Chains A and B, each alone.
Chain A
Amino acid sequence: MLRGLIKGAGLATVGRLPGGVAAYRALTRGALGTGVGHIVKQARVWPGYVRLWRDACGLDLDDAPVWLHEPGPAPLPALAAYLVTGRAAIITGAEAVRSRYLARSVDAVLAADLPGATAARRDVVDGLRWDDDATAAIARLGGAVHAGVAAATIPLADARVALAHSGGALEHLSPATLARFLGEVARVVLPGGVASHVIDHRDHLWHADKSLPFMAHLALPDAAYRALLGGALTFHNRLSSTEVVAAFVAAGLEPIAVRRLLLPEHRWVETDADALAGEPGLARARLAPRFRGWSEADLRTAATHVLCRRPATR
C-alpha cells in the first residue's frame, strides 16, 4: 500500500511541474530503460491481437495499412505490424519512439509467434538491430511516426487505414477528448475497416503495488480525484466498460466484439454473464457516489477490448 501511495504522490507532483512529464520520461524510459516492460508485454499480446483481427474481425491483413495510437516508447508494435502486413505501422502519440529499444524490440518481435511473418519479412526486421534511428527504420519499412500529436486532432487523411489500434492509451483521455478521438478513428479508418482499442480500467497505481484494490481510484469523488491525481502522469478517466462501448457507438462505429479482462486469472470473456466470475475491483460500499450505479460486470472488468467496424456506408 505504501509503495503505491509513494509512487502516486511522486507522479502527481512531477506531472504538475512545468516540463515534469518530459523529464520523467527522459529519466525512466530514456535512462533507466523502463520501456523494456512495454516490449515484454507487447510481444506477449500481439499474436493474440493478430488472430482476433484476422479471425474475429475477418480482416485481410496482408498489405493492410495499420495505425497505432500511443504504443509507448518501443518500436515493437510498428515492427509487428510489418511482419504481419508487409508494411510498418503509422504511429501517433504524444511520445516519440526511442531508438534505444530498437534491437530489443527486434529480438522480442522475432521471438513472438506472429501469424503471417514470412522469412523475407523476418530478415528485414532482423537487420534493423544495427540501426541507429528507430523512426527512420520505421519510415523505411513504409510506416511513419507522428510524435507530439494531440488525440483530438490526428494528422492522417480520411479513410487512410484498414486497422486502428491502441492499448492502454484511451483511459488517459477525458471523456470529451475521447469522444473527439473516436470521431477521428471513424474518419481515418476505411469503410469496413476495424477499430481495436484496449482500455485499462484499473487504477494504474495497482500496477506498481498489487496490494491495492485494482479499482481503488473509484473510491475518490471527482473533485478529490482531480485535486490529487488529475496531473498529466496520473489522470485516468474512470469510465466503465459500458460507458466506453457507448462512446464508440456514439462515434458511428459498430461493435464486433467487446472483450472483458477478468482478474485474478487474466482471462478474457465476451459476455456480461461471464464477467461475473471475475474478482470485483473494489467493494461496492467503498465506491464514490458517482460509481455506485455501475453494473457488477463493469465493476469486475479490469480492461475492455473493444473491436468495432466502420460501417461501409454512413
Chain B
Amino acid sequence: MIQASRAWARRVAPYPVRVAVARLRHLPARLLQWPATARRRDPELDAPFVLARRVSPLVRTVAAGAPAWPSAEEAANVRAAAARVDGLVIAPHQVMSFLWTVGWPARWRGFRPGLELHDARPTLAIGGGTCKVSNLVYQLALAGGMRVIERHRHALDLFPDRDRTAPFALGATVAYNHADLRFANPLAAPVTLRLTVRDGELVGELRTARDPGWRVEVVEHDHRFVREPDGWWRENRIRRRIVRVDGTLLCDQEIAHNRARVMYDPALVLPAPTEATCSAA
C-alpha cells in the first residue's frame, strides 16, 4: 500500500516538489545528528600515520572518443567541496557527516552548475559533481577502518570501467539534505581527513597520530552483470576484514550489497555477454 502510494506520488509530483518534501522530512533527523558531528578543522594537527590514502584523477575519459568528465564546472565543485572537508578532525566516537561538513551547495557558497542525476536523467544542478569527493571520502572511511553509518549507493552504473582501480560501486552519492555520507570514528584516537587537488588529481588521506596495530582489506565478491526484463543490471558485494598485525582477525563483515542499472552496453566490458549471468571477475 505504502509502496503503491509512493509510486503514485513519484508519477504525479514533479521532481523539485518531491525533493522539497524529502528535505523537509529529513530536517528534524539531520538537526538531531548535529551534536555528534565533527566540526573542528585543524590542518596542522600532528597526525603522521596514514590509515588510508586514495588518489582519483580529477578529469576522466570515460570511453574512447567520449567527452572528458567531469567538466571544468564540476571540477570547481570538487575543489570547493574538498576544501571544506580538508583538515576535518574526527574525535574518538564522533561522526563525520558529509552534508554538515560541505553544507548546502549554493552558488553564493562557491558551487557551480554541474551534472547530476534526477530521476535517472542527467540534469544540470548547483553542486553537481561533488559525488566525486563523497566517493573518495567513502573509500577512505572503508580503508581507514571507520564505521560507516549512512551511505547511499548510486542507482546507475553510468560508465564502463576505464582506468578504474576501485571495485564497482565503491562510492557514495549525496543529496542535500536527504542523502548523506556519515561514518563514525571507532578508534580511541582522533583522525583527520586531508583532501587536496593537485596535478589534476584529487588526493585524499585519513591520518591519525600512531599506528593502531591493524590493517584493513576491502575485497569485492560476486561481481556480475545480470540481464533482466528491464535491461542490464550490475551487482557485487563488498567485504571488509580488519586484521591485527599479529594475524588476529578482529572483524570480517559485509559492508555493502551494490546493485545498479547499467547505462552502457556491457559488451564494452565483457567480450561476449550472454543472456544468462556473466561474471566479470
Contacts and interface: CB of A to CB of B under 8 A. Distances in A.
Contacts of B187: 129
B35 A31 contact: yes
A107 B33 contact: no
Interface in A22-75: 26-27, 30-33
Interface string A96-140: 000010011011000000000000000100110111100000000
B96 to A, nearest CB: 14
B93 interface: yes
B92 A107 contact: yes
A133 to B, nearest CB: 11
B36 A33 contact: yes
Interface stretch (B4-12, B161-169, B245-253): B245-253
Contacts of B32: 26-27, 30-31
A298 to B, nearest CB: 40
B93 A104 contact: yes
Nearest to A129: B186
B70 interface: no
Nearest to B253: A130
B256 to A, nearest CB: 12
Interface residues of A, number: 18
Nearest to A101: B93
Contacts of B244: 123
Contacts of A127: 242, 249-251
B188 interface: yes
A104 B35 contact: no
A9 B183 CA distance: 37
Contact of A32 (B35, B145, B184, B249): B35
B61 to A, nearest CB: 37
Interface string B18-30: 0000000000000
Contact of A103 (B36, B186, B240): B186
Interface size class of B (residues with CB under 8 A): 20 to 34
Contacts of B248: 123
Interface string B133-164: 00000000000010101000000000000000
B140 to A, nearest CB: 15
A123 B250 contact: yes
B35 to A, nearest CB: 5
B36 A107 contact: no
Interface string B228-252: 0000000000001010100011110
A30 B28 CA distance: 13
B250 A100 contact: no
Given A107-B188, A123-B248, A130-B253, A31 B33 contact: yes
B74 to A, nearest CB: 33
Interface string A6-30: 0000000000000000000011001
A103 B184 contact: yes
B147 A130 contact: yes
A33 B35 contact: yes
A126 B36 CA distance: 22
A38 B136 CA distance: 36
Given A27-B32, A30-B32, A103-B147, A130 B251 contact: yes
A189 B149 CA distance: 38
Contacts of B33: 31
Contacts of B250: 123, 126-127, 130
Which of the listed residues A27, A31, A131 has the most CB atoms from chain B within 10 Å of its own CB?
A31
Contacts of A103: 93, 147, 184, 186
A32 B36 CA distance: 7
B149 to A, nearest CB: 8
Contact of B92 (A31, A104, A126, A131): A104
B174 to A, nearest CB: 20
A119 to B, nearest CB: 9
Nearest to B34: A31
Contacts of B184: 100, 103
B52 to A, nearest CB: 14
- Closest 4 pairs between A and B when the two form their complex, measured CB to CB: A127-B250, A103-B186, A31-B32, A129-B186
Interface of B: 32-33, 35-36, 92-93, 145, 147, 149, 184, 186-188, 240, 242, 244, 248-251, 253
Given A104-B93, A129-B147, A130-B242, 8 more contacts: A31-B36, A32-B35, A33-B36, A103-B93, A103-B147, A123-B248, A131-B251, A132-B149
14 contacts: A32-B35, A33-B36, A100-B36, A103-B93, A103-B147, A103-B186, A106-B186, A107-B92, A126-B250, A127-B242, A129-B147, A129-B186, A130-B186, A130-B242
